[in-house]
Amino acid sequence: MKESIKNNFDKGPESWCSYDYHWSIVANGRDIFVLTSWERTGGVEDGSYVWADECRWSADTPESPVSILPLMVNRSWVGGDALDLRNAELSVYLRGDSLELDGAQCYFWVNKGGVRWHMSGSPLAISEGEWTTEPNTIKLLNDEAYWYRSWEKDPSRMTPLNDVLSVVTSYGFSFVGFGQEPRGKLSLGRFEIKLT
């Protein structure tokens, strides 16, 4: 049986946050993460879920193209080790409520201390105003043709996707390609990664 990482949010937000780049700059470069709100009911099949809105995220301008990281988790926050996500399977429900994306796509991303890759080859669907009957399901292919690197702490380096996917320390969802910063509510329900 394959090992899996699951977040059903039965007891709370399970460390899922938004990243507020603007307040990170105001705080002299200390990263500012804002915990999502947790709802006991109203999620997929009336289960629990978490949500964030534009009050918690801001454009991460060092990323190219500029990204917003509305939902993310860092493995160390939950006492977890780095994960090998090469060719893993992701399943997730994403819901918007009055979510104005202004042209943005939603991607899954992975990070390893100082470099982030987004899976642009598989944009994720966000339902509006209700949960879908089926989740988004994608395979995290270990193939750079399906991803792009948005940020590297040391620009003189070019860390290959394989070197990040094999030791992922944080992951989440991004908005990329917007004219104006997306506004509204983004909800996350029943997140699962099946490891290979």
* CATH architecture assigned to 4-194: Sandwich (2.60)
Mean pLDDT of 89-111: 99
- Evaluate if residue 81 carries a pLDDT over 80: yes
Indicate the domain borders of the chain.
4-194
Mean pLDDT of 88-114: 98
Average pLDDT, the chain: 95
Tally of CA atoms within 13 A in the half-sphere of 23 that contains its CB:
12
The fraction of the chain above a pLDDT of 90, given in percent, is 86
The 10s digit of each residue's pLDDT in 43-77 is: 999 999 999 999 999 999 999 999 999 999 999 98
The pLDDT assigned to 108 comes to: 99
- Evaluate if residue 13 carries a pLDDT over 80: yes
Reported as a pLDDT band with limits 50, 70 and 90, residue 1 is: low
Q: What is the b/e burial string over 90-118, where b = at least 16 CB atoms within 10 angstroms of the residue's CB?
A: bbbbbbbeebebeebebbbbbbbeebbbb
Cα–Cα nearest to 117, from 77, 155, 84, 163: 163
Burial class (CB in 10 A: 0-12, 13-18, 19+), 17: buried
Region of poorest pLDDT, from 19-28, 49-58, 167-176:
19-28
- Evaluate if residue 157 carries a pLDDT over 70: yes
Mean pLDDT of 146-168: 95
The 10s digit of each residue's pLDDT in 106-145 is: 999 999 989 999 999 999 999 999 999 999 999 999 999 9
